[in-house]
Copies of this chain bind each other. A is one copy, B any other.
Amino acid sequence: MKGPLSPLFSPRSIALIGASASAGKISNVVLKNLLDSPFKVYPVNPREDEILGAHCYPSVSSIPDEIDLALIALPAMLSIRAVEDCIRKGVRIVIVTSSGFAESGQDGKILQDGLRDLIGVSGTRLLGPNTMGLMVPFHGLDTLFIPVEKSRRPPAGSIAIISQSGAVAVSFLEKAESFGMGISACIGLGNRVDINENELLEFFADDPNTDCVALYLESFADGRSFVDIARRISKIKPIVVLKAGRTSSGSRAASSHTGALASDSDELVAGALRQAGVIRVYDDEELVDVARVLAYKGKIDGDRVCVVASAGGFGVIASDFVESKEHGVGMTMAGLSEETRARLSKTMPTFSSVNNPVDLTAEVTDLMYEQVLEALQEDPGIDVIMMSLELQPPHVTQGLVDVAARRSSQGRIPIIISAFGGSRTQETLRALESRKIPSYPTIWRAIRAIAALHQRGSYLMKQK
């Protein structure tokens, strides 16, 4: 009888098998992280009495406590023996980090099959092998084998990331951290001898901290189950997938990376994901971009976009991206109602035009932006607003960020923001992120996020 996954995310006790006493060594850094956490931590190393002030045990079986989670930081060959010890001890979940299993060739495959057999007949669950582990900011859990100095971690938030590649997960974390986006959990799948994306998807579906699940996959552990589970869950929570290994070279590379064979054709995958209500993305940057707009805004109910900018050029570029099917998202530029046009005319500079895109010109003020956004949010012919937030015009102040935040939280229609420019953009994005407003440094990324909201809205509509 297989146990549930909760001890993986909130263990009471953790053993680190292969804890190192040498400062700077990875399994020393991880131990330090764990000792700083709120868990009971037991380092295991037969050659040491204590490490970093913590008593060291010669084996996991000699620990006088039940162990929820054991991290094994040993070479592949030695990991097998350590897993056996964990099973005997009744450890609930084991994480095997070492590579040298199926991803490395025939010998590794034999080792991995042995590991699978061991776990299969036990009550112990296993994450990996060849995984970087996981990070759960809410509980202060961080088993990642990358020192914090090498890779900053994001705060607690509402997006869960499941990744078949450690590096893609780390990139996700660093991108999130760089503008202050929070995550509920980040977990590396590795070679998936036991725990896989399907079970994790079910876990996050029930996790109250998680509003959106993002996945990086090179292959499916069980494609049919994935589609069944995703179809059920996507009605409640948005799911975003970056499925790599789309081309023949990509899929060959995937097989030597994670040892998994991607047998399905990409067309088949695309169709199955679409039917399951999964939003598919193609880029690691898009994975972050789309996950957060779905986590914060969920969906929109139609395809009519209104664009507001103080820079005419950005209005033109945005309109093209909205309408074009080839280099754009193939949505519609909303027509403004007579009432809206009349309200805008009163607010805007006389020489600016009252069309969509609304061009506020360089004469724009914070107040003008607020009044215009308010009027647009009351127009029933608009489903979503893209605001190009420009802090360069002379009469605009940093207060425009508050305007965006206020209209975003109070208005009927979602506002997605594009904040253009250089170094200052980063500050603006952080300020908006802290208020859960989806904001992007380019027009294209903002419009692509809007398309994801529309795709989700259309899917949910069809389910009714």
- Which A residues form the contact surface with B (CB < 8 A)? 26, 99-100, 103-105, 108, 146-147, 150-152, 163-168, 170-171, 173-178, 216, 218, 242, 244-250, 252-254, 256-258, 282-285, 309-317, 319-324, 327-328, 333, 351, 353, 355-357, 359, 361-362, 390-392, 394, 420-425, 441-444
Contact = CB atoms under 8 A, between A and B. Distances in A.
A396 to B, nearest CB: 9
Given A146-B392, A218-B313, A257-B315, 20 more contacts: A26-B394, A105-B351, A150-B391, A152-B422, A165-B311, A166-B313, A167-B314, A177-B423, A244-B316, A245-B316, A249-B322, A249-B356, A250-B316, A253-B312, A253-B319, A256-B353, A257-B312, A257-B313, A282-B327, A285-B441
Given A108-B351, A313-B244, A320-B250, A167 B392 contact: yes
Contacts of A391: 150
A77 to B, nearest CB: 12
A249 B167 contact: no
A56 B99 CA distance: 75
Contacts of A26: 394
B422 A253 contact: no
Contacts of A316: 165, 218, 244-245, 250, 253-254, 257
Contact of A152 (B150, B151, B282, B423): B423
B177 A324 contact: no
A415 to B, nearest CB: 19
Contacts of A317: 168, 242, 244, 250, 283-284
Nearest to A315: B253
A313 B353 contact: no
Given A284-B317, A320-B247, A312 B100 contact: no
A364 to B, nearest CB: 11
B421 A175 contact: yes
16 contacts: A100-B351, A164-B313, A165-B312, A165-B313, A167-B310, A167-B314, A171-B421, A173-B422, A247-B328, A249-B333, A250-B320, A254-B312, A256-B312, A283-B442, A284-B314, A284-B442
A134 to B, nearest CB: 16
A76 B27 CA distance: 70
Nearest to A350: B104
Contacts of A167: 309-314, 390, 392, 420
A253 B357 contact: yes
A316 B260 CA distance: 13
A24 B392 CA distance: 14
Nearest to A357: B253
Contacts of A105: 351
Which of A104, A282, A316, A324 has the most chain B CB atoms inside 10 A of its CB? Answer: A316
Contacts of A441: 285
Contacts of A164: 313
A347 to B, nearest CB: 17
B252 A355 contact: yes
B319 A249 contact: yes
A111 to B, nearest CB: 12
Contacts of A355: 252-253, 256
A166 B176 CA distance: 31
Contacts of A323: 247-250
A313 B168 contact: yes
A80 to B, nearest CB: 16
Contacts of A252: 319, 355
A348 B218 CA distance: 23
Contacts of A170: 392, 421
Contacts of A421: 151, 170-171, 174-175
Contact of A444 (B146, B250, B285): B285
Contacts of A168: 311, 313-314, 317
A103 to B, nearest CB: 8
